[in-house]
Amino acid sequence: MLRLVPGHTPKQLHVIFITQCLNVYAMFLVKASICTYLIALNFGRSYRILIWISAVVVVLCNFIMMLILHFAYCRPYYSRWDFSVKGECWPAAVSEATAYVQIASNIFTDLVSPLASLAIVCKLTFTRSMLPHRLPTLGMCSLARKRNGA
């Protein structure tokens, strides 16, 4: 459990800021690697266009927009955790709008990536003896993916 200790608040807020940045950029790397892998699978033209659009959305919303929010939201940016420094920040509506845009982009990319699984499954040919073993495995993978929020 995280408790803010009086006297150590700026240092703790700085650590929280760093961990939030690491989380956002790690998710960007995960989503970018998924897009790269899906592009490499070389599906049909329309699906490749959808993956490229998804890759552009990931770069714009999960990387560039978050860089701007993290490092340009307040001037100087360290005034976010160091209250002894007078700084100017954008209105809170900017942060809220950015959060909604990122949520929408995450929903979009999370809907596009499972389509690859469907495309792969549609191209597979199962013999009758393989069906009882393979379909439950694919279903459990899909369920696990949904439970983990991927």
Strands of the chain (E only): list them: 74-75, 88-89
Query: What is the biggest distance separating any 2 CA atoms in the chain, rounded to whole angstroms?
Result: 71
Q: Is 127 domain-assigned?
A: no
Per-residue pLDDT of the chain (150 residues; tens, 9 = 90+): 567 677 778 888 888 889 999 999 999 998 898 888 888 877 778 888 888 999 999 999 999 999 998 888 888 988 888 888 888 999 999 989 998 998 899 888 888 877 776 776 677 666 677 667 666 766 666 666 555 555
Q: Is 45 domain-assigned?
A: yes
Q: Is 50 domain-assigned?
A: yes
Q: DSSP letter at 63?
A: I
Residues near 118 by beta carbon (within 8 Å), at least 6 away in sequence: none
Answer whether 48's CB lies under 8 Å from 65's CB: no
User: Domain range spanning residue 68?
Assistant: 9-112
Q: Is 65 domain-assigned?
A: yes
Q: Is 118 domain-assigned?
A: no
Residue in 122, 104, 115 with CA at minimum distance from that of residue 142: 115
Q: Is 1 domain-assigned?
A: no
86: phi then psi, degrees, rounded to nearest 5? -80, 125
Q: Which residue has the tokens 């013999």?
A: 127
3-state secondary structure of 6: coil
Q: Is 129 domain-assigned?
A: no
Report how many domains make up the chain. Answer: 1
Answer whether 61's CB lies under 8 Å from 99's CB: no
Q: Is 117 domain-assigned?
A: no
